[in-house]
Amino acid sequence: IAPDGTREFDLELRSGTTDLGHGPGTETWGVNGSYLGPTVRAERGEPVRMNVRNGLDEASTLHWHGMHLPAAMDGGPHQMVDPGTTWSPQWTVDQPAATLWYHPHLHGATAEHVYRGVAGMFLVDDPAGPVLPDRYGIDDVPVIVQDKKFDGDRLDDGAAMFSDTGVLGDEVLVNGTPGPYLDVTTERVRLRLLNASNARVYRFGFDTGLGFELIGTDGGLLPKPVEMTSLQLSPGERAEIVVAVPAGTSPVLRSTPPDLGADFWGTRFAGGADTMDILQLRAADRLESNAVVPSALAAPADLGVPSVTREFDLTSSTQINGKSMDMGRIDEVVTIGTTEVWEVRNVSGGVHNFHVHDVQFQVLDTDDPALTGPKDTVYLPPGRTLRLLMRFTDFSDPSTPYMFHCHLLRHEDNGLMGQFVVV
Ligand code: C2O
Ligand code: CU
């Protein structure tokens, strides 16, 4: 905490080597270490300053995914941090408790920088929120899921032939750990799932059929917990689940073939036929009692009545509304204080999702319980249209844009991204 009350974080992008299960010599990047980065945590209402030092020998950025903040602090492609320099954005955290994350967001090379290992969680806490399991690393555990491919001891980011989805690995790391397990010591454990993979969509469930409660999505808690046995997350999406693992058992969190809504080959080329073990939970023979999930969690945000509708067609794997990303072009101008509906259509035939910076939106016309909470990233099956309700409350800046894009990182790099300003 700085003298002015600001909570300060020093984050340095570094290169190094990490043993990811293929020997100690695997070249990786990370934040304050050689792979991934520390969990950053701040309270709602707290002013924060991030001192982002770039210790790599190429320029990069750090973007605060899911954060409501001024565009100039967002860490997108317009906030490049040159090697050896420090960028210090600051803002006041003003949004509900949530599991957010950070990762590079430079134009054209986000996939590579994230794949090498630059990413971490950013947790927003709200002391006024409901009582939930919250002992970090004990009954409140980050689960950063990434699939990787290796060529000897080298991280291989080559995509399969014919596939335009980007790299799909055949191994899974959780928090950078191969073959991961978690010792469970409490009656319930809260898992903060983050799909930090470049392209893979996971469908999480337990091998034993054990159910769990979904309590939160990208931008915060649901109105009430939802019981489920499987949950799909596309790249960039998060979910908080609470699991009661029976004492003495060791169920495996596993990803089974997701429902991508694509045709046979489209599904195959997007990894949609794969089953992968994610994380084993090893429950002790006697479990300590801990917080129970309350039946009401958070009042849904009042986003108001929309006065503007915008249409976004994902026309190919490189274009939105027929245009590829251009750093010098503003695609949309939003008026501060308005509620809008963004109608997003996947007409490309391929597998995509859609992410909007600065806001958390509500997905309209859906009865999918996994879409009842605040979202900033959503899966968009081929041929589907989603209507997203969002409100732009503050931070006018006519000269600095926010991004909207597909979070399959190769698509983003290839131009499936656009820019909007709030004025
Ligand atoms: Cu997670 Cu525009 O990014
Ligand atoms: Cu895409």
Is 90 exceeded by the pLDDT of residue 4?
A: no
Residue 272 is assigned to a structural domain of this protein = yes
Contact indicator for 354, 376 with CB cutoff of 8 Å: no
Give me the pLDDT at residue 161, please. 63
Mean pLDDT of the chain: 96
* CATH classification of the domain holding 28: 2.60.40.420
Q: Is the pLDDT of residue 42 over 70?
A: yes
Dist. CA 19–CA 35, nearest whole Å: 9
| Residue 107 identity (one-letter amino acid) | H
Same domain, 107 and 165: no
pLDDT of 422 reads: 98
Question: What is the percent of the chain with per-residue pLDDT over 90, rounded to a whole number?
Answer: 93
Q: Measured from the CB, is residue 272 less than 6 Å from ligand 1?
A: no
Whether residue 386 contacts residue 363, with contact meaning beta carbons closer than 8 Å, is answered with yes
Verify that 269 and 333 share a domain, yes or no: no
Query: What pLDDT score was predicted for residue 162?
Result: 65
Tens digit of each residue's pLDDT (9 = 90 or more) over 194-205: 999 999 999 999
Whether residue 245 is found in the same domain as residue 350: no
Identify the pLDDT of residue 3: 84
Query: Span 318-332, mean pLDDT?
Result: 97
- 151, 115: one domain: no
Do 119 and 146 lie in one domain? The reply is no
Atom number of ligand 1 nearest to Cα 103: 1
314 pLDDT above the threshold of 70: yes
Asked if ipTM goes beyond 0.95, one says: yes
User: Which domain range does residue 35 map to?
Assistant: 7-125
**pLDDT at site 163:** 72
- Closest ligand 1 atom to 66 CA: 1
pLDDT at 216 over 80: yes
| Pair of tokens at residue 393 | 């409350």
Q: Is 71 exposed, middle or buried (0-12, 13-18, 19+ CB in 10 A)?
A: buried
What pLDDT shows up at residue 293?
97
pLDDT tens-digit readout, 74-92: 999 999 999 999 999 999 9
**SS3 track for the chain:** CCCCCCEEEEEEEEEEEECCCCCCCEEEEEECCCCECCCEEEECCCEEEEEEEECCCCCECCEEECCCCCHHHCCCCCCCECCCCEECCEEECCCCCEEEEEECCCCCCHHHHHHHCCCEEEEEECCCCCCCCCCECCCEEEEEEEEECEECCEECCCCCCCCCCCCCCCEEEECCEECCEEEEEECCEEEEEEECCCCCCEEEEECCCCCEEEEEECCEEEEEEEEECEEEECCCCEEEEEECCCCCCCCEEEECCCCCCCCHHHHHHCCCCCCEEEEEEEEEEEEECCCCCCCCCCCCCCCCCCCEEEEEEECCCCCECCECCCCCCCCEEECCCCEEEEEEEECCCCCEEEEECCCCEEECCCCCHHHCCCECEEEECCCCEEEEEEECCCCCCCCCCEEEECCCHHHHHCCCEEEEEEC
pLDDT, residue 239, reads 98
| Closest-lying ligand 1 atom to the alpha carbon of residue 377 | 1
Residue 214 has pLDDT above 90, yes or no: yes
Neighbours of ion ligand 2 (CB under 5 A): 352, 406, 408, 411
Among the bound ligands, name the one nearest to the CA of residue 61.
1
Question: Are 312 and 375 in a shared domain?
Answer: yes
Tens-place pLDDT, residues 96-143: 999 999 999 999 999 999 999 999 999 999 999 999 999 999 999 999
Q: Is residue 16 part of a domain?
A: yes
Residue type, 371: L
Summarize pLDDT for 155-170 with one digit per residue, the tens: 998 877 667 889 999 9
Query: Which listed ligand is nearest to 63 at the C-alpha?
Result: 1
Determine the pLDDT at residue 2: 85
Instruction: Return the pLDDT at 327.
Output: 97
Mean of the pLDDT values across residues 255-282?
94
Which pLDDT tens digit goes with each residue over 219-228? 999 999 999 9
Question: Last residue of a domain, which of 288, 318, 333?
Answer: 288
How many domains are there within the chain? 3
Residue 62 carries which side chain, given as an amino acid letter? L
